[in-house]
Amino acid sequence: MLNSILLEPFNDKARQLMITRHFLKPLADIKGYNDNIGSSDPKDLRDLPSYRLYSAHDTNIANILKLIKPDLMPKLKIGGDKVYDYIPYAANIYFEVYSDQFEEHGKKLRIKTMYNGDAIIFDECLDGEYCYYDEFMAHMDSVLYQGDLQAACD
């Protein structure tokens, strides 16, 4: 079901463009936290949201997973023995952001990517499920569209 109904309507480029657009604001927020953590002026962080919620369809969730961690497909193998051939009802993907202001720049933030409560582990993350900011962004840069998104979508 995942491949035939949720993934096949999108080719790789369309998937990459769609997910890149979905991730613009959350990744900008994470970058803002990284740039301002440890700042002597607390108002630098005040404009950044503590929580950002988006609603999406199973098609969006399946395509996000396919793009950010393709080896999870065609069946979703997450959390040890859990294997899905569909996107469960009320499925969710979220980023947990942890900070340590005493670390060096690029290591002040750690990001944990979660799908339905189970960690998604990227190869770039040396500490397993907790990615340093630089590792997380390197992974996202490797899978998201790099270029003029507006021109590519026209």
Q: What is the pLDDT of residues 16-53, one digit of tens each?
A: 999 999 999 999 999 988 888 877 666 667 778 888 88
Pairing, β 93-99 against β 109-115:
antiparallel
Lowest-confidence segment of 30-39, 59-68, 134-143 by average pLDDT: 30-39
pLDDT for 1 beyond 60:
no
Amino acid at 126: L
Question: To the nearest whole number, what is the mean pLDDT of the chain?
Answer: 83
Lowest-confidence segment of 5-9, 50-54, 55-59, 146-150 by average pLDDT: 5-9
Q: Is the peptide bond before 74 cis (omega within 30 degrees of 0)?
A: yes
| CA 67 from centre of chain | 10
So what's the pLDDT on residue 3? 61
Higher pLDDT, 144 or 52: 144
Strand partners, 131: 111
**Rounded to 5°, angle at Cα 11 from 74 and 9:** 75
